[in-house]
Chains A and B, each alone.
Chain A
Amino acid sequence: MWIYEKKLEFPIHITKPDGRLAKIMIEQYGGPDGELGAAVRYLSQKFTMVTPQAKATLNDIATEEMAHLEMMGTIVHQLTQGLTKAQLEEAGLSPYYVNHGFGVYPSAASGIPFNATALQSKGDPLTDLYEDMAAEQKARSTYEYLIDLTDDPDVLAPLRFLREREVVHFQRFGEALDSARDYLNQQHYFFMNQK
């Protein structure tokens, strides 16, 4: 169960419409290392997680990722508000526009729709937590590439915040991995034999 709070995790107010930026920001909404994938990855993996610490970590980071998904959707939405036809065409947004208008649709910057093959749920706590650590690093890299291509301070501020969160999540998943590994080592038998 979730309670919705009627506010963003970090404020976003973008003054200048910018089709070029909207076209690339969608990457972190519905791209392979984006926030939708992050939320679904952790929400799905939590059911077979072993230690209380690691369960809590997956559950709560997944919850924060949903807030990040909302932030990326907000960025795309505000960047497209007030775009003229000429600006839209110049930014190469026409193919997106003919399908979605200015609706926010989970796809990568390349236009490829979100696909669950971007995530894994292996039912093995160590495998899943290693994947999550890698996923946080991939998201951090993507935010850095987006920051490289952004000059609008209204967009940079939330991107920097989101990049920073990936670093923290990576750290927390590392600690969760330690707890899961310690637990499994104490069992003195293979995890699969516990069933």
Chain B
Amino acid sequence: MDRNMLMQKLMELDFLAVDLGLFLNTHPDSSEAIAAYNEVIEAADKVRLQYEENFGPLCSFRSYAADPEHWLWERNPWPWQKDANTTMGGKECR
């Protein structure tokens, strides 16, 4: 998978985790939502690992520095740069 596809997949999964987390804060006894949350976290972990192995660390002081010779964290692109993202223009569902 190329960088953009992996990033897209990770954004989708992390978004689900954010949204389910907020839901669970006010529905803490929903075992259905807890199961869904755990599923999403597990799937996102896998994609995050795959991304980091190929394109460098994603999390400040949580990700491994995989390359012993070079500190990859500082490398471009940073998230606000155009080439960090593809557009969702025209791709959303209405």
Bound together: yes
- A: residues with CB less than 8 A from B are 3-15, 53, 56-57, 60-61, 64, 70, 73-74, 77-78, 81, 152-158, 160-161, 168-169, 172, 175-176, 179
Q: How far is the CB of B22 from chain A (nearest CB, A)?
A: 5
Assess whether A57 is in contact with B25, with CB atoms less than 8 Å apart. yes
A13-B87 in contact given A53-B25, A60-B22, A70-B79 (Cβ < 8 Å): yes
A161 vs B85: C-alpha distance when bound (angstroms):
15
Q: Which of B11, B23, B26, B89 meets A154, CB within 8 Å? A: B89
A157-B58 in contact given A53-B25, A175-B26 (Cβ < 8 Å): no
B18 contact set on A, CB distance < 8 A: 9, 60, 64
Assess whether B25 is in contact with A11, with CB atoms less than 8 Å apart. no
Assess whether B60 is in contact with A4, with CB atoms less than 8 Å apart. yes
In the complex formed, the residue of A with least CB distance to B63 is A6
Q: How far is the CB of B51 from chain A (nearest CB, A)?
A: 9
A78-B59 in contact given A7-B7, A9-B18, A172-B23 (Cβ < 8 Å): no
Q: Mark B74-94, 1 if CB is under 8 A from A, else 0.
A: 000011101111111111100
Assess whether B22 is in contact with A172, with CB atoms less than 8 Å apart. yes
Assess whether A5 is in contact with B92, with CB atoms less than 8 Å apart. no
A11-B87 in contact given A3-B61, A53-B28, A74-B80 (Cβ < 8 Å): yes
Secondary structure call for the A interface: helix
Q: How far is the CB of B28 from chain A (nearest CB, A)?
A: 7
In the complex formed, the residue of B with least CB distance to A58 is B25
Assess whether B60 is in contact with A3, with CB atoms less than 8 Å apart. yes
Q: How far is the CB of A106 from chain B (nearest CB, A)?
A: 15
In the complex formed, the residue of B with least CB distance to A173 is B26
A-B contact pairs, 7 of them (CB 8 A): A6-B73, A8-B79, A15-B87, A53-B26, A53-B28, A161-B92, A176-B25
Assess whether B80 is in contact with A73, with CB atoms less than 8 Å apart. yes
Q: Which of A13, A155, A158 meets B82, CB within 8 Å? A: A13
A14 vs B81: C-alpha distance when bound (angstroms):
10
Assess whether B84 is in contact with A7, with CB atoms less than 8 Å apart. yes
A60 vs B24: C-alpha distance when bound (angstroms):
11
A12-B85 in contact given A70-B79, A74-B79, A157-B92 (Cβ < 8 Å): yes
A77 vs B82: C-alpha distance when bound (angstroms):
10
Assess whether A60 is in contact with B87, with CB atoms less than 8 Å apart. no
B25 contact set on A, CB distance < 8 A: 53, 56-57, 60, 172, 176
